[in-house]
Structure 1
């Protein structure tokens, strides 16, 4: 079988599909990823990459076409840092429209037997339908995407098109509404990086993700670092290549580091503080540690709400980050119990290989 994966060119949209892709490859199937500019980094993971339309930049085109066709929606998107998803996805649909002919041509040329895509790239679903190829939507987190997919497909003149299956990576009890997809255990990727040595004190992992913060700069991180100075615990800041020099000298119990395997770090931690990325939160849930979620836009508020509603942690704004809140993050028995419960739920979800064996092949 030949399986083609397609998605918008962002790490948070492509990397969650890698475990399923590698499970297909481990079973002898041919796989490839097709993306717009920016998705080439997938090749670092030894994954074949097909450029769909070189020169078409997702972010640039979204803003340009949004200003031309939906200026009101663009204004709402900018004002909320893309948290207004009903405003954002019609703009993403414009990029899909621009890339649709090239997407169809790419799919036709590679001749897959199955197309798997994520919801922000419904051009893949349209291409699969036009070419008579089965299509599966791979969810990324806690967002109910069916209404958003319909908004995008309406923009693309295919309002009734639906995938054959949907694969749901979030525990079912953490998504509002009825079940609608097939469960798929989220599997974190192993990435290079050395973990800090243990010190004998509790450790809290901290990250703001792969995209530099746009709304408040380092305000949230500054509040965490300031509060951390009063806590008898170690804080590991996973900041990648982000410049945090404006924070000034760090407390002795706060250690910045480059990229490290987030899920491996969490195995050594008592809690996590992060921006609300779906993969970041799912890894913390799988590790069974409570979370403090500090969302700033996109779908990260949805993630924060899901974590808090399940009782596995709390969401907050920068001004609410205090030593007292961090102490509670380390000690709250309710948050700890809920986090362990969700960890067990994730462990019981079918693996990518099991999904392939029982559902897809």
Structure 2
């Protein structure tokens, strides 16, 4: 079986698809990833990747959208609207439209038996409909996709017309959210989220247990690029008196003067860092939220747009942490996060729930059956 995986631009979109790609390849199937920009990082996972938008990255594409359609970018920062993925469709449709010609070219040459696409990559259903093959949507977080594919189809009407596609492809969905953190039932096939953050030779300090509580602080891959490190500065200002060490995992070390109990590190695999931590403070990215849940860590979430409010809500409502604003972060709140039993017990429950969910490998026979149909 030949499987084409189609990813949106962001690292956070493509990484959740890597374990499924590994499972497919381990079962003897051929896999090709069509991606661009930051998502090309999946090539480091041992996957063959075609760049369908050479010379472009997420920053460049979003700067183009900001210059030409500023009202769309503003929607992503709306606190209430960002809980509904449909509000993000106009932006991601613009991105998909710029990628779709390259994806169609790749798919036409590759001739897959099934297409897997990352949530919010509208070109996946288009190319599946063009080739007449089944399509699978790879989920990545807690925001629900009701109405998203239909709305994406409307926004990509010109692209469908350009490629002579008149029909639609209804996807089979993969939902990696732990059911106890959802308000309703999972969307489609429920599957375990397996953290993949890249590989690395671990530094010595990460290979050894810390001498006192360690707290990871991260803003993910997109927020620092788009909004800077303002939230981190606020956190640094309040942690000097906390009896714990804080690791700023922000991909850079030039963050100014830091208290003795704070260190900034270049990139490290988040899942490996979290194995050594007592808690995490983060921006609410889906991958960060689920990786922290897999590590059974209490979470302090400071969401700042996109789908991050939906992820933060899920953390808060399940009781594995709290969602707050940068202004409300203080030493008392962080101290509570480190010592309170409630979030730690709930986080352990969620980890057990996640580890009992079907693995990506268990989905392979289902995808084979879908392709054969």
Aligned match of 2:50: 50
- Which residue does the alignment assign to 1:3? 3
What is the match of residue 206 of structure 1? Answer: 217
**In structure 1, which of residues 280, 283, 290 is the aligned counterpart of residue 288 of structure 2?**
280
**Does the CA-based 8 Å contact 1:63-1:74 persist in structure 2?**
no
- Shift of residue 75 of structure 1? 4.4
1:300 is the counterpart of 2:308 = yes
Q: Residues 195-229 of structure 1: CA distance to partner in whole angstroms, max 9, x if unpaired? A: 43434211111111123536764332122223221
* Residue equivalent to 1:330: 338
Q: TM-score, normalised by structure 2?
A: 0.87
Asked whether the 8 Å contact 2:7–2:35 carries over to 1, the reply is yes
The superposition leaves residues 147-197 of structure 1 with CA deviations (integer Å, 9 ceiling, x where unpaired) of 222221121237984534100111122223333221111111252142434
Q: Equivalents in 2 of 1:58, 1:44: separation in Å?
A: 18
Q: 2:173 aligns with which of 160, 166, 187?
A: 166
Cα distance, 1:306–1:255 mapped onto 2, change above 3 Å: same
Give the C-alpha shift of residue 349 in structure 1. Answer: 0.7
Match of 2:246 in 1: 235
Shift of 1:140: 0.8
Give the distance between the partners of 1:184 and 1:259, measured in 2 at CA. 28
Which structure 2 segments of 5+ residues have no match? Answer: 161-165
RMSD: 2.6
Q: Distance in 1 between matches of 2:337 and 2:92?
A: 37
Normalised to the residue count of structure 1, the TM-score between the two structures is: 0.89
Cα pair distance change 1:89/1:318, threshold 3 Å = same
C-alpha distance in structure 2 between counterparts of 1:25 and 1:357, whole Å? 13
Matches within 5 A, 1:21-36: 21-36=21-36
Question: In 2, distance between residues paired with 1:120 and 1:344?
Answer: 29
Distance 1:138 1:268, change over 3 A: same
Q: Please, which runs of 5 or more residues in structure 1 have no aligned partner? A: none
1:106-149 Cα distance to aligned partner (Å, 9 max, x none): 11111111110012212111111121111100001111023222
SS of aligned partner of 1:146: coil
Q: Matches of 2:66 and 2:216 in 1, distance apart?
A: 37
Q: 1:292–1:313: 8 Å Cα contact kept in structure 2?
A: yes
- Counting matched residue pairs gives 357
Structure 2: distance between partners of 1:294 and 1:61: 25
Structure 1 residues 347 and 160: alpha-carbon distance in aligned structure 2, compared to 1, 3 A threshold:
farther
Gap change, CA 1:226 and 1:71, over 3 Å in 2: closer
Distance 1:160 1:91, change over 3 A: farther
Aligned counterpart in structure 1 of residue 273 of structure 2, from 260, 265, 281: 265
- Decide whether the 8 Å contact of 1:32 with 1:49 is kept in 2: yes
The residue matched to 1:260 in structure 2 has which SS?
A: coil
Change (3 A) 1:224 1:63: closer
Moved more, 308-317 or 198-207: 198-207
Q: Give the secondary-structure state (helix, strand or coil) at the position aligned to 2:242.
A: coil
What is the CA distance between 1:44 and its match in structure 2? 2.1
> Relative to structure 1, is the Cα distance of residues 11 and 238 closer, same or farther in structure 2, using a 3 angstrom cutoff?
same
Contact 2:4 2:33 (C-alpha < 8 Å) held by counterparts: yes
Contact 1:67/1:74 (CA < 8 Å) preserved in 2?
A: no
- Per the alignment, residue 188 of structure 2 pairs with 181
Report the CA distance shift for 1:286/1:149 in structure 2 as closer, same or farther (over 3 A).
same
The separation in 1 between residues aligned to 2:116 and 2:295, in whole angstroms, is 27
How many Å separate the matches in 2 of 1:214 and 1:52? 22
Cα distance 1:334–1:125, how it changes in 2: closer, same or farther (>3 A)?
same
Give 2:163's aligned residue: none
Residue 46 to residue 271, structure 1, CA distance change in 2 (3 Å): same
